Amino acid sequence: MIKIDKVNKYYNKGKANQIHVINNTSMTLPDEGIVCLLGPSGCGKTTLLNAIGGLDKVDSGTITIDGQRITRFSSNKIDSIRNARIGYIFQNFNLLDDRTVFENVAIALRMIGIRDNTTVTARVRYCLEKVGIDQYRNKLAGSLSGGQRQRVAIARAIVKNPSIIIADEPTGNLDSANTLEIMNIIKTISKERLVILVTHERNIAEFYSDHVAEMKDGKIVKAYNNDSSRFLDYQLENKIYLRDMAVHKGFRQDDVNVDVYSDEERQADIKVVIRGNNLYINTGGRLNVVDESANIEMVDEHYTAMDESYFEENDFDYTACLPSKYKARYTSVYRLSNMISSGWKTVKGFKRIRKFLLLGFVFAAMFAFLAVSNVMGVIDVKPVDYRTTNGNYITIPNTAKTEDLLKLVDGLETVAFVLPGETKKMVTLPMDDYLQTSYAQEDLGVSIVLTSVLTPEQLVAGSMPADPHEVVIDKALIDEFLRDKNGLYIGLDTMEEFLGRRLMVPNLDDYRIVGISDTESPSMFVDQSQAMYILSNGNDLDDDFSIMGVGEEEDTEDLIRSGRVMDLDLSKNNIKIKKGRKPEAAYEVILNEYHEDEVEIGKTVNVKVAGRKLNVVGYYTSDAADDDTYYVHADTVKADYIGKQKNFSAYAPDVALLKSILEKEGLSFKVNDTRDRKTYINSRKDQLTSSIIVAGIIMLISLIEMFLMLRSSFLSRIKEVGTLRAIGLKKKDIYRMFTGEILVITFITAIPGIAIMYFALTQMVTITYYIEGMYIVTPVIAAITFAIILVFNLLAGLIPVFSTMRKTPAQILARTDI
């Protein structure tokens, strides 16, 4: 039973054009029969009906259906009730025009949880047969005539065995013949159900309904049981009752019979010609042919008013073909599979221009991938990208230039060794394999590390050094070299080919590469005996090629030009000792013979190295006329080097541990790895900002496009949405419906877009190493990009749906009527 109690509803409440459309109305509706809301157009019938059916909200008062107060429920609950209990028939049918007749009816069954196809088919076809339209079940609803469509709508309303059927001017858009047929069907289905019928046609109301509630200006002004005699005086325009025609003239001659009927005396000039098999008729005016396809029918009888036998012959079994004891319960019609399949159908049905617009999404996806891979490339810095020294070094300033601090640090258990200064040096890789390349060489910026800390596990090729002149260099150095392709012309293009090659350091004997390590840093592992020689002779990384000479002390200036000799090799340096001996200890020096008269052996020259003057131990003769080199012992250079360093490098196998110890000691220091990383990131900050801005703009464009596209798709389907909502589809299913579409659009555009850019970037990386590191091109980044695009698209695409879903079904339908 439905009870309406003091219901009020306004449109445009509080505004100048406020309408009090339902005015304190109360009413009780029975459980069976047709209850007719009768009243002039605009009196509020539809509004009241929508309130009862849960399509719209009221401002005050209560409506209860079998004791359940629907005016208090959330829209979700109302949807559930409407879905299970109410069948809706609308004036303008509200069918899904691009689906088949069968689908239009079947969806109502699926929504109440009937999934079994055999049951669905049997039940739908039973209902279609009952309304006389089964033969059209595979046609698109949009292709049917008005009368046929209303039959589909009735089948949809009754298929789920609802206890209440709401029919809002169901014949309002139909001609009179269809009106009667539809009303007869409605009358048939009302035998065991409540049908609430809205009409403004009094004769229809009085012929068909069991109860009439007359409305005026939002109020029920009269309510009564209708037991007036059941006659319907409803002349059908499409029937010509021949016996009621005023004039009838017949002409009969041999085989020719002609009957002429007219409403009054009229002149009839008709010429009929039969030539061959063709019949020609000339009426002198308009001619209407009545054949099977005509909607006009001539009946050779008098018009009689219709009586109850019209609808009493038929009946409708509400439970036919339905599972017994079935209880209707709302069930979502969208699972992922049919979300996708119906989304795919929609996208496939896009007009050409809209399909073309999908290309925009492909481009957006391409650039989104470019942007994401760029941002990730800039953010994701790998040790090999930024490390300038071995990652285990900590740099400690030695401002006091005393050995105490150095000794203190060196004494720490966590410290493997300490080297003065930074460990960065330039060593030279000669590439003089061929005559044509005799002068070819490449400088490698290396970080000097002692072999003692190298473990065999860190080796990726070759072997551990066995001799002081054997070294191990890191893969990071080789990779960078190979990327530049500088070794191609001597065929140096694989890591293994580096094994056995020479490395040169000024003034020192060559070193030989015997192993390759992988420490993710530009390390060169050298013997302890060689480390200081290399550090003090190797060219500095930062100020390229300026050879640091001992003579660059403030008071030596021109005296010592450049180039010093360690372990003086007389043959190599093309000098001969003329007097005295070669330097054998630190601070010993030999001078060119032309200084013999200036400084005696045993005296010092006015050249200071690390604060001490050099002792002359001999003189040499040189092939080069102007050789003014002060040849000293290697340890002198070492002392000079150490004396000049402002800090020293401590190697700790466990950097974190050393860090915490130094912190506790209160010493200042820098972890090389952290420092290098910061420097590197700072240098790329601008790039990161621009990458993020570009990515943001691309995403925004994509977002706007998706929003516009889905908004227009949504607006073009607002009628469908309104219909689905009206027949009980819940909001979440509307979201799913559009989510399916967005998923399909995203899949078919983002995947090709990302794939194209993926391919392009991998190609570019092989062509120019410049972009490597700036872009990360991996399946993970592709997946991240896809996820970002998907989230963006879902957001943009569902915004218009979201704003519409806040409206009641009646409000959505009202929009589509405009």
Shortest Cβ 41–ligand ADP spacing (Å): 4
Shortest Cβ 53–ligand ADP spacing (Å): 12
With the C-alpha atoms ordered 429, 435, 438, 440, is the resulting torsion angle positive or negative?
negative
Shortest Cβ 194–ligand ADP spacing (Å): 19
- The site string for ligand ADP over 263-302 (x = CB under 6 A, - otherwise) reads ----------------------------------------
Question: Which residue, 24 or 494, has its beta carbon nearer to ligand ADP?
Answer: 24
Rounded to 5 degrees, what are φ and ψ at 422? -75, 160
Question: Which residue, 614 or 810, has its beta carbon nearer to ligand ADP?
Answer: 810
Is position 633 an interface residue for ligand ADP (rule: CB under 6 A)?
Answer: no
With the C-alpha atoms ordered 173, 177, 178, 179, is the resulting torsion angle positive or negative?
positive
Shortest Cβ 93–ligand ADP spacing (Å): 17
Shortest Cβ 2–ligand ADP spacing (Å): 18
Shortest Cβ 45–ligand ADP spacing (Å): 4
Contact 526, 448 (CB under 8 A): yes
Residue 433: strand, helix, or coil: coil
Tell me which stretch binds ligand ADP (CB under 6 A): 42-50, 502-510, 604-612, 790-798. Answer: 42-50
Pairwise CA distance, residues 213 & 221, whole Å: 8
Tally the residues of the chain: 818
Shortest Cβ 750–ligand ADP spacing (Å): 40
Residue of 341, 772, 814, 816 that binds ligand ADP (CB under 6 A): 814
Residue of 15, 41, 255, 457 that binds ligand ADP (CB under 6 A): 41
- The site string for ligand ADP over 379-418 (x = CB under 6 A, - otherwise) reads ----------------------------------------
Integer angstrom CA distances of residue 641 from 87, 151, 248, 544, 607: 96, 102, 135, 17, 15
Produce one character per residue of 216-249: b if its CB has 16 or more CB atoms within 10 Å, e if not. eebbbeeeeebeeebebebebeeebbeeeeeeee
Residue of 18, 32, 42, 298 that binds ligand ADP (CB under 6 A): 42
**Of 403, 390, 488, 503, residue with least CA distance to 444:** 503
Shortest Cβ 723–ligand ADP spacing (Å): 17
Integer angstrom CA distances of residue 396 from 409, 450, 586, 612, 670: 9, 18, 26, 25, 6
Residue 206: strand, helix, or coil: helix
Q: Please give the DSSP secondary-structure letter assigned to residue 599.
A: S
Tell me which stretch binds ligand ADP (CB under 6 A): 40-48, 201-209, 576-584, 773-781. Answer: 40-48
Question: Which residue, 91 or 539, has its beta carbon nearer to ligand ADP?
Answer: 91
Residue 23: strand, helix, or coil: strand
Residue of 43, 106, 144, 446 that binds ligand ADP (CB under 6 A): 43
Pairwise CA distance, residues 204 & 183, whole Å: 8
Question: Which residue, 22 or 108, has its beta carbon nearer to ligand ADP?
Answer: 22
Integer angstrom CA distances of residue 180 from 40, 101, 208, 385: 21, 22, 10, 84
Question: Which residue, 21 or 180, has its beta carbon nearer to ligand ADP?
Answer: 21
Q: Order across the sheet with 670-671: list the strands.
A: 417-420, 647-651, 393-397, 670-671
- The footprint of ligand ADP on this chain (CB under 6 A) covers a number of residues equal to 13
Question: Which residue, 487 or 722, has its beta carbon nearer to ligand ADP?
Answer: 722
Pairwise CA distance, residues 609 & 797, whole Å: 76
Residue 404: strand, helix, or coil: helix
Residue of 10, 11, 231, 735 that binds ligand ADP (CB under 6 A): 11
Q: Which two tokens stand for residue 751?
A: 């995947």
Question: Which residue, 12 or 716, has its beta carbon nearer to ligand ADP?
Answer: 12
Is position 10 an interface residue for ligand ADP (rule: CB under 6 A)?
Answer: no
**Of 479, 487, 473, residue with least CA distance to 441:** 487
Question: Which residue, 718 or 751, has its beta carbon nearer to ligand ADP?
Answer: 718
Question: Which residue, 21 or 781, has its beta carbon nearer to ligand ADP?
Answer: 21
Shortest Cβ 815–ligand ADP spacing (Å): 9
CA dihedral 552, 557, 558, 561 (to 10 degrees): -10
Tell me which stretch binds ligand ADP (CB under 6 A): 37-45, 292-300, 524-532, 602-610. Answer: 37-45
Shortest Cβ 215–ligand ADP spacing (Å): 7
Is position 21 an interface residue for ligand ADP (rule: CB under 6 A)?
Answer: yes
Residue of 46, 521, 536, 672 that binds ligand ADP (CB under 6 A): 46
Q: Which residues touch 71 (CB under 8 Å, ≥6 apart)? A: 7, 51, 57, 58, 61, 62, 63
Pairwise CA distance, residues 233 & 251, whole Å: 34
Residue of 7, 36, 38, 45 that binds ligand ADP (CB under 6 A): 45
Question: Which residue, 206 or 596, has its beta carbon nearer to ligand ADP?
Answer: 206
Shortest Cβ 178–ligand ADP spacing (Å): 21
Pairwise CA distance, residues 794 & 359, whole Å: 18
Question: Which residue, 39 or 722, has its beta carbon nearer to ligand ADP?
Answer: 39
Question: Which residue, 217 or 596, has its beta carbon nearer to ligand ADP?
Answer: 217
Shortest Cβ 811–ligand ADP spacing (Å): 6
Question: Which residue, 41 or 337, has its beta carbon nearer to ligand ADP?
Answer: 41
Question: Which residue, 214 or 422, has its beta carbon nearer to ligand ADP?
Answer: 214
**385: number of Cβ within 10 Å:** 17
Shortest Cβ 812–ligand ADP spacing (Å): 11
Q: Please give the DSSP secondary-structure letter assigned to residue 437.
A: G
Contact 458, 517 (CB under 8 A): yes
Pairwise CA distance, residues 813 & 729, whole Å: 14
| CA angle (676, 689, 380) in 5-degree steps | 45
Q: Which of residues 61-120 bind ligand ADP (CB under 6 A)?
A: none
Question: Which residue, 11 or 489, has its beta carbon nearer to ligand ADP?
Answer: 11
Residue 647: strand, helix, or coil: strand
Shortest Cβ 803–ligand ADP spacing (Å): 17
Q: Which two tokens stand for residue 558?
A: 């021109």
Question: Which residue, 45 or 730, has its beta carbon nearer to ligand ADP?
Answer: 45
Is position 44 an interface residue for ligand ADP (rule: CB under 6 A)?
Answer: yes
Is position 618 an interface residue for ligand ADP (rule: CB under 6 A)?
Answer: no
The CB-nearest residue to ligand ADP is 46
Residue written as token pair 């009106």 = 179
Provide the binding-site residues for ligand ADP, judged by CB under 6 A: 11-12, 19, 21, 39, 41-47, 814
